Structure 1
Amino acid sequence: MHPLGVAAPLLALLAANGTTVLDCVCLKIHISNFEGYGADWVYSAYCGEFRHTDVLIACKTLEYRSIAVGAMLRLITSWTLGPRRLGFEECDDGLAALAGLTDTTDSYQLTMDLACFVAADCIDSCSASGSNITEWDVQTLTSDDQRGPVLSELLRTLRHITKAIRLGRKCAGRQKWNFLQRHLNKTELETEVPAYLEHVSNYSRDVAQLLSHGVRHISAALVPFAFEIMKMDPNDERLSTWINHVEHMRDMLHTQLGGWVQDMQYVSEQTANYKVEEDKKSPGKYIIRLPLLNDRLLSYHGQYLSFRDDFSAQCEKQQPEASPMFALADALYGFYYHVWFNEARSFLPLYEAHYSSFSYSRVPNEPPIDIKGEEWQLEDKSNATLSVDTGCMQVLANALDHPTCPLEDLPPETTKRREQCRVQLWRDLSQGSPHIPVTSYLAYTQRANVNLCLFAWMTVNSVSICQDVPFSMIQSVRDARCVFGGPDDQPCPQLNATDAVCSVCRAILLLKCRDFASTSYLEACRAPMDHRGWYSSNRGYYIQEKDKPTNRILSYKDNLNSGTLKYRDFKIEGLEPLEITFVAVNILFRFLTAAVYVYLPNLRNLPGKIFLSFQITGMIQILFSEVLYRMAGVPDLSTTVQIDSALTLLNCIWLNSFCYQMYACVRHLRLPSDLERAEARKVFRRQLLCSLIPWSVVLVATIALERTSEYYLLHSRVIFIVGISLSVAYNIACLGLVGYMYRRTRNSMRQLKIYSKEAFGSKKLILYMSAKTVTLSGIGTIVRIGFHQAQGIAQYVYYVHIATMVQGPLLFVLFVCNNATLPLLRERLLARWNPDVIGPGQELCSSAERNLAKRVNVPAAAAESTL
């Protein structure tokens, strides 16, 4: 029901035709210069109030002065000179109704009634016939007969919405809520404040509906509006591409404006939760307690856009008209922020109550009202560290380093990957994943530890992966409280996993990471305009005062780009040939070492079989992680990491068996070749069983944990770390016992005064055996894992990863190129090349004896093989 108290003839016309009769009257007054009190009143109350405005936009946008001025001039002039006209009969009836008004009429009451009628009427009827048009083609856009009427109707509806928002604020303020200036008792206050809050809730709900209409109509009008403002050539062959780009820009602008609607809806819901309570510290004074989700959060909406600064550089190659296109979007946002959003929220308690309280705070009789907002109980998170998926961090870093033009259609793979990353990053953020230990280079590339503020900045940066998520500040704070709230908070509603990380990161950045949030500083200009353009041709525009960024903030800004270096490239393209070479050399020497142990009979003893198992496991690990995953991309990263970690643990267990055999040989003074082959095979099977059982238990436990939930990834990695650490500790204990027995034996020989021409252990031999001991101990594995844990820059870890590929040549040198193995290998190869060659210790007295030896050796070898 429309709250009207105007004259009866005007009432009847408005009830029958809505505000269209007022538009017609305004047009006739403007053209025919009607005079009289009624004409002057309706012109000042409805027609002429909106003939000038000023808009705050980025100064760089005014470099395209013709675009910005043309757009706003078209919008301002459309307020008064609407194209739709009623018949002359309705206009004449409207003018006749106004003629009956005299200066004795209560003009204030009449103005308030008219304002309330316009606002209520628009909520029900402000919808243009072209508001459902979402796609334009070249034919319809270039046709004046098809484009013109639709655009005119849309602009007329936008004019009505603008008037409805401004007049709605005037209607809402018709009742003077002066409880802030009066000393009321508790009963009176508890009665009046809820009524006021209910009034504010209804107002914000109506504004949300008007904003919803307005945003929908802006989206519908943007393509034809841009076509006319930018004066595009209808015969341009690139017009189809231009239309597609403008539609993308329309979606970007709709995302920004859609946040206004959501936040106004949240305000209307939350206003009922404002509480009035007596100040316990000051009896007689009262506090209006605002909840966390209050209207003050609306101040975080930016007053102007920076589309042109953010996106023009990367879009100019694809679209030469990108800069003026973005300048148009910036101008429209600044214009409607001023005449819609800023106008609507100026009535809310954020301004009305605060300013009223402030204006009376210096009066001796201080009002007994204080307004306090709830603080977000999130401790300082500026130094907090979060463990997130490294692949998604790479996506964030790539988006910042190589931003794409938002006017272009992204490949489906890119869009899908970004959505997957938003879901994955939300899981990481909501679960609060701590620092996850890594066991290999691949595990390092799977998880990244990032500063929370830096992570929030990288996520919601204007060129990052959250471009399509509406800027709803109240929803952002609500979602963030769900993640970081205290134990007394209410259960969180089910959040949209695709958009939640964008929403939460926006709240963290704006409320708790102010230094990181200072991403850009645009010089803002206020452009005062009327229906003729600028107020004055010699005045132009003036620069609005803005605070200069502090040195600390500038330092943060400069360090942000360098801070993301650690998440940019986990592989250096310039070093890829070197990495491939090192991997190939590692595999080659591991294969050669294994081949030597298979080829020489003296090495096919129990320790040799264990060492051969160690080499085969190492080759399988390299083939999985360095060849199959890197080149073929299979299996997936998490599975590859699990295989790599499991094989690392198995390698350590093989070294456990090898070190134990060394200790057993020294302890029992028995050479490895003393065991019979049957006994050696039996012992090897027992060692194999003892090695695989604990390894299988650990592997099954980690697989079960990681497949159950990503939250248990931490426990899985901890199990691997503990297993590897215990294995290395066992190796060190065994080798320590061997060293202890060596020193005790040497001291005993010295006490017995046993001397030999050969030194008990030369410095060269001791150095050689020390290197061999360190290799067998597995300390290198622990050092590598520790380096991965400590280092934060991926390139350094990549260097260490390449350096570990020399393990193959090192094992070949230590276990093949020594005084025991190398001569045997050389003689075996020479004997195969030339059977008549006699090696050292094989000299015989005559050729007859050599032939006899051959005949004896051949049957013996055959019998042995048969046995």
Structure 2
Amino acid sequence: MQAAGVVAALAALLAGNGTSVLDCVCSRTTAVARSGGILDLSDGEIETWWDYCLRSDRLPEFVSCGALEQQPAAWSAVVRTADAISGYGLAPPAGAGEEGEACADALAQLRRLTRNESLQLVGELICRMADDCIDSCSVPRLDNMAWNTTTLQADDLRHHALSQTWHAVRRITRAMVGRKSCEINYGPTYEWKDLNKTGLQAQAALYRERLSNYWRDLSQLLSLSATHFSQLFVPLAFEHMGNRTSDQQLHGWIKDVQRVKDMLHTKLTGLVHDMQYASKEIGHFEVEEDKEKPGRLILRRPLLSEQLLHHQPWNVSFHDDFSALCEQRQPEASQMFSLAATLYASYRVYWYTAAVFMDRSYEFSFKPVDEEWQLEDRSNTTLSVDTDCVQLLMNALDNPTCPLDDLPVEAVSQRLQCRAQLWDDMVQRSPHIPVTSYLAYTQRVNVNLCLLAWMAVNSFGICQDVPFSIMQSVHDARCYFDSPDDQSCLQSNATDAICSVSRAVLLLKCHDFFFFKPSNSCRVLFYLFRDVPLTYSMLTEQSLAYKATLNNATLRYKDFKIDSLKYLEISLIVINIIFRFSTAGVYMYLPQLRNLPGKIFLSFQITGIIQVLCSEVVYRMAGVPDLPTAVLIDGALTLLSCIWLNIFCYEMYACVRHLRLPNDILPAELSQLFCRQVLLALIPWSTVCVAAVALEKTSRYYLIHSRIVVLVGISMSVTFNLVCLGLVGYMYLRTRYFMRRLKIVGNNKFASKKQCLFMSVKAVILSGLGIIIRIGFHQAQGVAQFVYYVHLGTMVQGPVLFVCFICNGTTLPALKDRILVWWSPTSVPAGQELCSAAERNLARRNNEQPVVTESSL
């Protein structure tokens, strides 16, 4: 029979029975060759077996990392898995019936072919494999099959499903390799030289169309393969380990293995999406002549080309990350995750085989020029984000949970909310928001963009259920950076955008945070599936140490509130409130403290009491108002405290400047002056507060502006205090200088060491430097524990104020005398004796008269 007739006959067989006939032919030919009877095969059989049966199973080789000093942890599981799969790799030879007759007929026709005729036949076959497989390689009866206790324990059904599914995977792989071989060996040739511009563009259009068809076919085949790999997992896991599970535990085991299957399917879905995306981008390739080298063509590829496919991970970290976590819940968790990693690695080899061909094919005809993304390294970029979400990311890394456990609905909802919140924070692009209080620190935190991206997309992060598509990630990241005001170009939704952009940022724009560097990885080839190599990637000690470094970098965001110090915090808050109330009470009780400076300092104390009650009691205990409003109130009261200190310092300066003591002011004038000072304090304070509230409530984009307004107001207020105190010190030094020139020198010292210490502390308090220092410490973003300790330290303000302003040589004796008068109204305090000797004698006689009367009685 002529070759054309054989091809026609086999084409009819393919149309009627799919590639099962050719599988049968390959099985029988392989059996004869392996039994030592290869010399008994005809030229047609040998050529077909060599060029079709073997070539379609061979995949490109990779360079391994050399001899392994230590076998991978999952080696034994991989070997057992390979052995289990191998039994289902090849379809059994067809027996009786129509399929057997078709197989025998095909073998008979092959024996009559010459070598050249066989080559022609093989070329026809491998170019038809992809279209035939797309139509017939699916196993509809097994699609989305619900595996339960009954179906898994049915050996016939399980073995049939495994055999059919793995056989479908082998057919898909053979079709994919055949499609590549067809493109390389039997594709059309293009004449690029001596073409004018019109002819070049026409030829380029044909070339793009053929490439587009190639990628479309591969993406469809890989989509089918991903489906079958996912379907293969559950019955293969039962065959490998589940048959040792008791009937009581089998229901939970099936639930866990289904969860791992979903995780595997999520990973494979990302690979399929990338291939489909790449097939659509072929139309954007441009061919042009190289002006520097005439006769040489340039192929300009856009950024979203198949070059990005190499960023897909070679292996999944299921086994390393989750085995120990899930061991208590599921003793066979390690084997489950190893099986999932094995299937993923095997699929990744098939997937890479399709992608790597494109790079090599360009080099023969073109000079590939890839579009560069004009964006600098983002390793040092910082963002201001929501603290609760950062705490959630930190907790997920510090205390990871087993993915087999059912998360509470609240936890799932919180993850989704944080993904949306973090994306909203990224869109706002606020590099740094000033922190004016501890509450503001617990609301916003400045985080490195690359570290935040790594925390989000880590295996334990909040992006576990989002497929990793490098093509979509780069598209979204480019939209984010190049079109900051127009987010309509995003392909991801608002919930998944943070995951998509973070992955692209990490891979392409974070050189100092790149979590997987080729130099730190090791790829090993395991030829376990007969002729199909399995690539298994391992992480070296260097890469593991780098990963540990990133984990440690997140610890700085741990514990914005330390639970172990909760009772200490409550105690300090109570002590602070008690002493603040005590200081205010003394100023209201003692008449000599009711002068103008005393009333101003009392206003300062009342403002501080209200601030502590609002932020530490009402908000912490009752949870009202909401955190942003509480931050506004806290910042406003901090500013008002500074303004009271402004008035106090100014009055101090005015008294020294005009040599007028505060006690010399008459009561009527005192009330008038105090009302005027209150009015002067409220005008700037209300102006700043209204501006801050208007900015923050108008839009979240103006949050940074509202904080800056408050911080500028506080800074200007403290600056005014320092100027006033500086003028007072200058006048004292100037007066002392002139007195020395006038030879007026006394033996009395200015003050004792104790008094100097008290005055220094008072100067810091009155100047507002303590507030600035506290705010400065709050800017130390990323060190949560340290800022928390500073917050605890600020709670001792009450005792400090009481000691410095009450426990002095003037106020404390007066307070002691007033208290003693309560117990003994007739006692005369020291220094408050009567004015004349006659009055003292009369008082003495009045006191002695009852004693004389009593003695006479």
- TM-score tier after normalising by the smaller chain length: 0.7 to 0.9
Within 1, Cα distance between the matches of 2:414 and 2:613?
27
Within 2, Cα distance between the matches of 1:53 and 1:198?
26
* 1:820 corresponding residue in structure 2: 810
CA contact (8 A) 1:13 1:94 kept: no
Residue 555 and residue 66 in structure 1: after superposition, are their counterparts in 2 closer, same or farther (change >3 A)?
Answer: closer
CA contact (8 A) 1:52 1:530 kept: no
**Structure 1 residue 273 and structure 2 residue 270: aligned?**
no
* 2:851 corresponding residue in structure 1: none
* 1:586 corresponding residue in structure 2: 576
**Structure 1 residue 251 and structure 2 residue 262: aligned?**
yes
- TM-score using structure 2 length: 0.86
- Out of 95, 98, 113, the position equivalent to 1:89 is 98
Residue 489 and residue 783 in structure 1: after superposition, are their counterparts in 2 closer, same or farther (change >3 A)?
Answer: closer
Within 2, Cα distance between the matches of 1:220 and 1:727?
69
- Where 1:351 maps in the other structure, the secondary structure is helix
* 2:527 corresponding residue in structure 1: 528
- Out of 321, 328, 331, the position equivalent to 2:342 is 331
- Out of 790, 797, 809, the position equivalent to 1:800 is 790
CA contact (8 A) 2:453 2:506 kept: yes
Residue identity matched to 1:352: S
What is the aligned length?
Answer: 826
Moved more, 253-262 or 22-31: 22-31
* 1:862 corresponding residue in structure 2: none
* 1:341 corresponding residue in structure 2: 351
- Where 1:346 maps in the other structure, the secondary structure is helix
* 2:761 corresponding residue in structure 1: 771
CA contact (8 A) 1:180 1:353 kept: no
Q: Deviations over 1:630-680 (max 9, x none)?
A: 455544433332222122111111212222333344444444344454554
1:274 to partner: Cα distance: 1.1
**Structure 1 residue 732 and structure 2 residue 722: aligned?**
yes
Residue 150 and residue 635 in structure 1: after superposition, are their counterparts in 2 closer, same or farther (change >3 A)?
Answer: farther
Within 1, Cα distance between the matches of 2:380 and 2:753?
51
- Out of 427, 430, 439, the position equivalent to 2:424 is 427
* 1:716 corresponding residue in structure 2: 706
- Where 1:232 maps in the other structure, the secondary structure is helix
* 2:122 corresponding residue in structure 1: 111
Within 2, Cα distance between the matches of 1:801 and 1:261?
51
1:715 to partner: Cα distance: 0.8
Residue 171 and residue 316 in structure 1: after superposition, are their counterparts in 2 closer, same or farther (change >3 A)?
Answer: same
1:439 to partner: Cα distance: 1.2
1:180-579 → structure 2 map (5 Å cutoff): 188-233=199-244, 235-338=246-349, 340-348=350-358, 350-354=359-363, 356=364, 369-485=366-482, 492-493=489-490, 495-519=492-516, 521=520, 523-531=522-530, 559-579=549-569
Within 2, Cα distance between the matches of 1:838 and 1:487?
78
Residue identity matched to 2:526: A
Within 2, Cα distance between the matches of 1:353 and 1:455?
38
Within 1, Cα distance between the matches of 2:647 and 2:788?
31
**Structure 1 residue 613 and structure 2 residue 596: aligned?**
no
Within 2, Cα distance between the matches of 1:709 and 1:373?
41
Residue 466 and residue 61 in structure 1: after superposition, are their counterparts in 2 closer, same or farther (change >3 A)?
Answer: farther
- Where 2:314 maps in the other structure, the secondary structure is coil
Within 2, Cα distance between the matches of 1:150 and 1:436?
59
* 2:15 corresponding residue in structure 1: 15
Q: Deviations over 1:442-471 (max 9, x none)?
A: 323333333333333333222322222222
Residue identity matched to 1:167: G
1:236 to partner: Cα distance: 4.1
Moved more, 329-338 or 679-688: 679-688
**Structure 1 residue 657 and structure 2 residue 667: aligned?**
no
Q: Which runs of 5+ in 2 are unaligned?
A: 34-39, 848-857
* 2:684 corresponding residue in structure 1: 694
Within 2, Cα distance between the matches of 1:134 and 1:93?
31
- Out of 134, 138, 146, the position equivalent to 2:149 is 138
CA contact (8 A) 2:57 2:174 kept: no
**Structure 1 residue 809 and structure 2 residue 799: aligned?**
yes
1:204 to partner: Cα distance: 0.9
Moved more, 577-586 or 832-841: 577-586
Residue 180 and residue 413 in structure 1: after superposition, are their counterparts in 2 closer, same or farther (change >3 A)?
Answer: farther
1:23 to partner: Cα distance: 4.8
- Where 1:106 maps in the other structure, the secondary structure is helix
1:388 to partner: Cα distance: 2.9
- TM-score using structure 1 length: 0.85
* 2:850 corresponding residue in structure 1: none
Within 1, Cα distance between the matches of 2:619 and 2:285?
58
- Out of 85, 88, 94, the position equivalent to 1:78 is 88
1:240 to partner: Cα distance: 2.0
Within 1, Cα distance between the matches of 2:720 and 2:293?
70
1:18 to partner: Cα distance: 2.9
1:726 to partner: Cα distance: 1.0
**Structure 1 residue 648 and structure 2 residue 652: aligned?**
no
* 1:864 corresponding residue in structure 2: none
- Where 2:795 maps in the other structure, the secondary structure is helix
Residue identity matched to 1:526: L
1:721 to partner: Cα distance: 0.9
1:815 to partner: Cα distance: 1.5
C-alpha RMSD over aligned residues: 3.9
Moved more, 663-672 or 599-608: 663-672
Residue 811 and residue 227 in structure 1: after superposition, are their counterparts in 2 closer, same or farther (change >3 A)?
Answer: same
**Structure 1 residue 170 and structure 2 residue 169: aligned?**
no
- Where 2:513 maps in the other structure, the secondary structure is helix
Within 2, Cα distance between the matches of 1:490 and 1:186?
38
Within 2, Cα distance between the matches of 1:226 and 1:113?
39
Moved more, 280-289 or 777-786: 280-289
- Where 1:140 maps in the other structure, the secondary structure is helix
Within 2, Cα distance between the matches of 1:243 and 1:149?
19
CA contact (8 A) 1:377 1:486 kept: no
Residue identity matched to 2:336: M
1:826 to partner: Cα distance: 0.9
1:591-606 → structure 2 map (5 Å cutoff): 591-606=581-596
- Where 2:368 maps in the other structure, the secondary structure is strand
Moved more, 751-760 or 209-218: 751-760
1:727 to partner: Cα distance: 0.9
1:289 to partner: Cα distance: 1.1
Residue 80 and residue 585 in structure 1: after superposition, are their counterparts in 2 closer, same or farther (change >3 A)?
Answer: same
1:724 to partner: Cα distance: 0.2
Residue identity matched to 2:140: S
Within 2, Cα distance between the matches of 1:847 and 1:247?
104
1:51 to partner: Cα distance: 6.5
Residue identity matched to 1:347: F
- Where 1:347 maps in the other structure, the secondary structure is helix
Within 1, Cα distance between the matches of 2:751 and 2:131?
102
Residue 775 and residue 542 in structure 1: after superposition, are their counterparts in 2 closer, same or farther (change >3 A)?
Answer: closer
Moved more, 755-764 or 702-711: 755-764
- Where 1:772 maps in the other structure, the secondary structure is helix
1:322 to partner: Cα distance: 1.4
- Where 2:600 maps in the other structure, the secondary structure is helix
